[in-house]
A and B are shown apart, each in its own frame.
Chain A
Amino acid sequence: MNIHIKNGRLIDPRNNLDAQLDVFIIDQYIAAIGNAPAGFKAAEVIDATGLIVCPGLIDLAARLREPGFEYMATLESEMDAAVAGGITSLACPPDTDPPLDEPGLVEMLKHRAKNLHQARLYPVAALTTGLMGKELTEMAELVDAGCVAFSQADAPLTDTRVLYRAMQYAATFGYSVWLRPQDSYLSKDGVAHDGEVATRCGLPAIPVCAETIALSTMLMLAKETGVKLHICRVSSAAGVEMIRTARQQGLAVSCDVSMNHVHLSEMDIGFFDPNCRLTPPLRSLRDKAALRAGLLDGTIDAICSNHAPVDEDAKQLPFAEAESGATGLELLLPLLLKWAEQDKVSLAGALSRVTAQPAQILGLDAGHLSVGALADVCVFDPEKYWKVEASALKSQGKNTPFTGHEVQGRVRYTLVDGKIVYAN
């Protein structure tokens, strides 16, 4: 089908475009930018007057809860939420039940996602069987099944020799390893940042050194093995600084941060708000400022939603017993825009953190609107205010620290493969 997106402000960070330009789509591809190709007849015209047209968003961390946790969310509900949030590609961590450690599971998940004709799903496979940290998964088989990287999600990998071997093996074939740094002994039983709020509230704490010690191990082993390492959800000032130094020394390590950590700190826990029970824990205001500085100087490449829907009952518990996680797919864009406005980042610069940059980390030819590229497009109204509340969210997870907040930026159209998969 031919689609003409007219009168919009086109922002394509990878192609350095920010101008009023029309987009012409033929079948599933971008056919032209600016002027219509010869003989183009639009079957559908999207009037994007006053709207921004950008590459579909790419989210590096979205838990869809399938298989195994369907009481929290389903593929259907979360894929609906993704496109409502302008997200056209997402990577899902392997911490399902069973974990994504064998090709059959991955194929089934990809197949089911494909049949929904919504966002593209890129499973991240388990690095070790059952995420147990003992034996390597069949990485080549998993890549053939469609996995894009290997990860332990939030499961510990305490045996450094296994980690070393896993990185060596992955490096042999050029596979990426995605790890979230957290020492399992130092973080044991912890539910909040080891700082002022945990001290005041009497909450078991996770010190910053739980992140830096694990990070140090990962960076050393990456240097040793030459593996493509991606650090997930850095949370502390000290962690950002270590990654900055490693990059200055020439280590090819990439890094992402959760949007929650860009906007929130331990202070938001207030009187034990279970919506602020997150993984990694919300850290101090100083850490938050350092994360933002890391985004500005490029130490942190991408912002992800860290979408982790949980069922309502699991949050109606004392803070430490409440399930960790928050819904996020539909908040990624508004929270990105909020950050851009607060830190005076250009829209193109901000959007690159959820389009071109994550595409590069995933190794995908996506996240841009070049002629000939697949037409994954997000069209949003940057001015539109809306209130974050259960009824405004398509995700089955309704819990977020931003409940009740007025946010700015609402997706109007999402296109995947040149098809309108969401219109509002």
Chain B
Amino acid sequence: MKNPQLNKHGELQHLLTTEGLPVRIMRDILDRAAGFLDLDEGREIKKVPLLHGKSVFNVFFENSTRTRTTFEIAAKRLSADVVNLNIGSSSTSKGETLLDTVDNLCAMHADMFVVRHSQSGAAHLIARHVAPEIHVINAGDGRHAHPTQALLDMFTIRHYKKEFHNLRVAIVGDVLHSRVARSQIHALTTLGVPEVRVIAPKTLLPTMVENLGVQVYHDMAKGLKDVDVVLMLRLQNERMQGAALPSGQEYFKNYGLTEEKLAYARPDAIVMHPGPMNRGIEIDSRVADGLQSVILSQVTFGIAVRMAVMSTLAGSNK
């Protein structure tokens, strides 16, 4: 089966998922992102003309503030023209199909789409549909993938830990419904992390998750033992309705990241979260705002990583 993300030269044509993304491309993106960050002087990321004259359409069929904003900032720093469309869920009720919407935007001469949609596979569908000179970036599709989030997480891990090959990483929370978790798992295994763990109750883990290359834990004390990186996931409030969990309090008691539980990890372990956080549900404020938290760095790095992705795509041959 043809890799839908690569063009015939093996270059990145679309960024749809971290699954099957070649390690050389992944490393290139991280290196390129580092180049955009002027870390030594702590200054803002400089504006560069790499996407000058290009139109980037942020098409969000599902609400998002943070992701859409960081994509917008990233595109502007690359000197692109940015159009934001918050289509929400109302577009389908107006009768227009997803591909009709995309066709209309193509007619407005879009060069690149950044798409978020509530259905798994939506970005693949759009990528199959658009003309070959148009690039698609998946900004989150259903439970499937959120590759830029995973890449910025990898960037953050590399920034603090330097290497991947000697790490133990734990992903904690609602893996079943999480596109972030799936993309993180593929990215971590691709980059050579030898031990990736998931920690959650059975109701929040998908069937055969171990086939993705992870070790399954149901207990925080055991799962967090000696890990270098803790990746927290957001718990959607509606999970209580589906009988997946009894209550937020009980979840916090067992799986909420507190200082006590974090003490099982290595003393220099870092704590990450893709946001937005539910304080007191999946993470305690003392941890979220604590010394081991690198959550705000993730947001800053997110801009550089998204610039790297966009400029990589724009630089590929047709």
Q: Which residues of A contact B (CB under 8 A)?
A: 194-196, 198-205, 207, 270-272, 313, 316-321
For B119, give its contact among A270, A313, A316, A320 (CB under 8 Å).
Answer: A320
A200→B19 contact, CB < 8 A: yes
**A196–B120 alpha-carbon span in the complex (Å):** 15
In the bound complex, how far is the Cα of B99 from the Cα of A43, in angstroms? 55
B124 to chain A, nearest CB (A): 5
Complex-state Cα separation, A199 to B211, whole angstroms: 9
A202 to B205, CA, bound (A): 11
**B97 CB within 8 Å of chain A:** yes
Does chain A have a CB within 8 A of B194? no
Q: Which among B121, B144, B207 has the highest number of chain A CB atoms within 10 Å?
A: B121
Q: Is A271's CB under 8 angstroms from B121's CB?
A: yes
User: Is the CB of B1 closer than 8 A to any CB of chain A?
Assistant: yes
CB distance from A277 to the nearest CB of B (A): 10
Binding site for A on B (CB under 8 A): 1, 4, 19, 97-99, 117, 119-122, 124-125, 129, 141-145, 179, 182, 206-209, 211-212
Complex Cα gap A201–B125 (Å):
13
* Cβ-neighbour of B125 out of A203, A204, A207, A272 (below 8 A): A272
Residue in A closest to B99 when the chains form the complex, CB atoms: A316
- Docked-complex contact B208 and A195, CB < 8 angstroms: yes
CB-contact partner of A319 in B121, B129, B212, under 8 A: B121
Listed residue (A202, A271, A317) with the most chain B CB atoms within 10 angstroms of its CB: A202
Partner of A199 from B97, B98, B145, B212 at Cβ < 8 Å? B212
CB pair B97 A316 closer than 8 Å: yes
Nearest chain B CB to A199 CB, angstrom units: 4
Give the distance in Å from the alpha carbon of A316 to the alpha carbon of B121 in the complex. Answer: 12
CA distance A194 to B120 in the complex (A): 15
Q: When A195-B208, A199-B208 are in contact, do A318 and B1 touch as well, CB less than 8 Å?
A: no
A321, chain B: closest CB distance, angstroms: 6
Nearest 4 interchain pairs by C-beta: A202-B143, A272-B121, A318-B119, A202-B144
**Dominant secondary structure of chain A at its interface with chain B:** loop
Q: What is the chain B residue whose CB lies nearest that of A191? A: B120
Residues of A within 8 A of B143 (CB): 202-204
Question: In the assembly, what is the distance between CA of A196 and CA of B211, in Å?
Answer: 7
CB pair B182 A195 closer than 8 Å? no
- Report chain B residues within 8 Å CB of A196: 207-208, 211
Beta-carbon contact of A313 and B97 below 8 Å = yes
Q: Roughly how many angstroms separate A318 CA and B208 CA in the complex, as a whole number?
A: 23
With both beta carbons as reference points, the residue of chain B lying nearest to A202 in the complex is identified as: B143
Nearest to B127 among chain A residues (CB) is A271
Closest chain B residue, CB of each to CB of A203? B120
- Set A199, A317, A321: member contacting B209, Cβ < 8 A: A199
Q: Give Cα A272–Cα B125 distance, bound, in whole angstroms.
A: 8
Q: Could you say which residues of chain A place their CB within 8 Å of the CB of B144?
A: 201-203
Assess the A198–B124 pair: CB atoms within 8 A.
no
Given known A-B contacts A194-B207, A318-B98, A318-B125, A200 and B119 have beta carbons under 8 A apart: no
Name 13 extra pairs, CB < 8 A, besides A202-B120, A271-B124: A199-B206, A199-B211, A201-B144, A202-B143, A202-B144, A202-B182, A203-B143, A272-B120, A316-B97, A316-B125, A317-B97, A318-B142, A320-B120
Tell me the bound Cα distance from A317 to B118 in angstroms.
Answer: 12
| Cα(A205)–Cα(B206), bound, Å | 9
Residue in chain B with minimal CB distance to A267: B1
With a CB–CB cut-off of 8 A, which chain B residues contact A270?
1
**Cα A321 to Cα B92 with chains together (Å):** 11
CB distance from B175 to the nearest CB of A (A): 9
Is B121 within 8 A of A195, CB to CB? no
Determine the distance from Cα of A202 to Cα of B145 in the docked complex, in whole angstroms: 8
Residues A271 and B120 in contact in the complex (CB < 8 Å), given A196-B208, A207-B207: no
Choice from A198, A272, A318, A321 contacting B206 with Cβ under 8 Å? A198
Q: Whole-angstrom distance between the alpha carbons of A411 and B182 in the complex?
A: 47
List, in ascending order, chain A residues with CB within 8 A of B212's CB. Answer: 199-200
Inter-chain CA distance A271–B209, complex, in Å, is 18
Q: Which residues of B contact A316 (CB under 8 A)?
A: 97, 99, 125, 129
A residues near B99, Cβ cutoff 8 Å? 316
Residue of A nearest to B129 (CB): A316
* CB atoms of A201 and B121 under 8 A apart: yes
- The answer to whether B207 and A199 have CB atoms under 8 Å apart is yes
In contact, B207 and A271 (Cβ under 8 angstroms): no
Minimum Cβ distance to chain A for residue B121 (Å): 3
Instruction: Say yes or no: B207 contacts A319, CB within 8 Å.
Output: no
A381 to B182, CA, bound (A): 48
B205 nearest CB neighbor, chain A only: A199
| Most chain A CB inside 10 Å of its own CB: which residue of B117, B129, B145, B206 | B206
Q: How far is the CB of B129 from chain A (nearest CB, A)?
A: 8
Q: In the complex the two chains form, what is the Cα distance from A318 to B16 in whole Å?
A: 14
**A-B residue pairs in contact (CB < 8 Å), sample of 13:** A195-B207, A196-B207, A196-B211, A202-B141, A202-B145, A203-B121, A203-B142, A204-B143, A205-B207, A207-B207, A272-B121, A317-B119, A317-B125
| Alpha-carbon distance A138/B115, docked complex (angstroms) | 52
Question: Is B125 a contact partner of A200 (Cβ separation < 8 A)?
Answer: no
Residues of B within 8 A of A201 (CB): 120-121, 144
Residues of chain A within 8 A (CB-CB) of B179 are 202
Of A200, A207, A272, which contacts B182 at CB under 8 A? A200
Most buried by B among A199, A207, A317: A199
Taking a contact as CB atoms under 8 Å apart, the answer to whether B117 and A271 are in contact is: no
A29 nearest CB across to chain B (Å): 51
Q: Complex Cα distance A189/B228, Å?
A: 37
- Min CB distance A100 to B, Å, is 30
